[in-house]
Structure 1
Amino acid sequence: MSEKEILLTPQGLKKIEDEYEQLKTVRRKEVAGRIKEAIAFGDLSENSEYDEAKNEQAQVEERIAKLEMTLRKARIIDETQISLDIVNIGTTVKVKDLEFDEIVEYTIVGSAEADPYDAKISNESPVGQGLLGNKVGDVVDIQVPDGTIQYEILEIKR
């Protein structure tokens, strides 16, 4: 079974690398210090500070392992090679919702860096999949859990 690659923009890679470094160099030491402090309180069988610190340590180590796996599988999108003729991963697309007459912009990214609050949608999401491969002027119907959205593609940029 081959591992599925994880698509990242250069900005997404930097964000993951920064989080990874912070967890390894700062958070790991903080949690180890809390464990050491809790051990000093004595009896570990009824030591809630120790239990909390050990749980936090497990969470930090799990996140570090997840980030390492992401970095190992990462394929960086070369933004200079992205065609602006069609919607692709790494492009920002301005669309008009034809039902509500609203204009919105989405950046299409790999699932690892999707952040709907920052208008970064995954290429694997219904809207991301529906926009991929279309060009300016196209009207696309996209199936979403609530029904169908109809977008007109107004602009594609980096």
Structure 2
Amino acid sequence: MSKTPVTVTGAEKLRQELHRLKTVDRPNVIAAIAEARSHGDLSENAEYDAAKERQGFIEGRIKELEGKISNAQVIDPKLLDADGRCVFGATVELEDMESGLTVTYQIVGDDEADVKENKISISSPIARALIGKFAGDIAEVQAPGGLREYEIIDVRYV
């Protein structure tokens, strides 16, 4: 299986979620199952069914996170030496050529992407159009509303 790029921050969030699932959520659901079992007949016990379903979800998520962490290639944007090129982890300031609006995005892994935090996935159309370009270059992005052009104002590694 190939390595999946993830920033240091993204890897830490994955580790924190895994730790919480193992140390808080898993013991809580085990206690809930024990409590539900103590109520007697399991065949018509909705609490038991709900707790078992929750346990299945938690165990599945733990397995998923362990897989993601083991396949992660952690990249620290501060240590990049890309000579001003747009690469994974870079923070890119763009100007929409049509509207003149400027926006700043960080190119991150799929699991870290969050538009509200201005973090876009490496596999998004905008990020794919930006990769390899320098400040001053024009990136053409095929968006659902048609072709959009962005001028790269600045590339930082923070």
Give TM class, smaller chain.
over 0.9
Kindly provide the CA deviation profile for residues 53-80 of structure 1, in whole angstroms up to 9, marking residues without a partner as x. Answer: 1111111111101100001101111431
- SS of the aligned residue for 2:2 comes to coil
Report what 2:41 is aligned to. 43
CA distance in structure 2 between the aligned counterparts of 1:94 and 1:62, rounded to whole angstroms = 38
CA distance in structure 1 between the aligned counterparts of 2:120 and 2:145, rounded to whole angstroms = 17
CA distance in structure 1 between the aligned counterparts of 2:141 and 2:17, rounded to whole angstroms = 34
Report what 1:4 is aligned to. 2
Q: CA deviation at 1:116?
A: 1.9
The one-letter amino acid of 1:34's match is: A
CA distance in structure 2 between the aligned counterparts of 1:117 and 1:84, rounded to whole angstroms = 28
> Is the CA contact 1:20–1:64 (under 8 Å) kept in the aligned structure 2?
yes
Distance 1:8 1:82, change over 3 A: farther
Report what 2:112 is aligned to. 113
Report what 1:83 is aligned to. 82
Report what 2:139 is aligned to. 140
Matches within 5 A, 1:55-134: 55-79=53-77, 80-134=79-133
- SS of the aligned residue for 2:85 comes to coil
CA distance in structure 1 between the aligned counterparts of 2:138 and 2:115, rounded to whole angstroms = 22
Distance 1:46 1:93, change over 3 A: same
CA distance in structure 1 between the aligned counterparts of 2:39 and 2:100, rounded to whole angstroms = 62
Q: CA deviation at 1:84?
A: 4.6
Distance 1:53 1:154, change over 3 A: same
Deviation beyond 6 Å, 4+ runs, structure 1: none
Normalising by structure 2, we get a TM-score of 0.94
The one-letter amino acid of 2:40's match is: G
Kindly provide the CA deviation profile for residues 62-117 of structure 1, in whole angstroms up to 9, marking residues without a partner as x. Answer: 11011000011011114313425111101100001122221111000121222222
* More helix as a share of residues: 1
